[in-house]
Amino acid sequence: MGFKFEKLKVWQKAIDFSTDIHNLTKKFPQEELYILTTQIKRAADSTVLNIAEGSTGQTNAEFRRFLGYAIRSEIEAVSCLYIGKNRKIINKADFNKLYTNAEEIIRMLQGLRNSLK
């Protein structure tokens, strides 16, 4: 692993979360393809991408800004999980697992951001 972000545990967890979201959306109905499916996948991917983009060649202040974007993207993914659960697209077990993972990622992102003061 040659890039700074690859060593970050939060980036690794965010990659796993993004993969889990991708796999979950394979079960979504076709009618959600251009609605919830794309929205939740983009939010999960955005978390990963913002961590990576902010970590490389940036000042701590700039990295903190990108971590803020990553936190907001993860919150967006959580909101999408709620939408899917309420539409009966996401079952309780999948919701709980992904919600817990998102909570952990957000806590890790907040901790990393706070450490960069």
Q: Angle 34-15-1 (CA atoms, 0-180°, nearest 5)?
A: 140
pLDDT of residue 83: 98
Per-residue pLDDT tens digits for 12-71: 999 999 999 999 999 999 999 999 999 999 999 999 999 999 998 779 999 999 999 999
Structural contact between residues 4 and 60, judged by C-beta atoms closer than 8 angstroms: no
pLDDT of residue 57: 75
Q: Is the pLDDT of residue 1 over 80?
A: no
Structural contact between residues 108 and 10, judged by C-beta atoms closer than 8 angstroms: yes
Task: Give the structural domain span for 73.
Answer: 4-115
The CATH number of whichever domain residue 98 belongs to comes to 1.20.1440.60
Number of domain units in the chain: 1
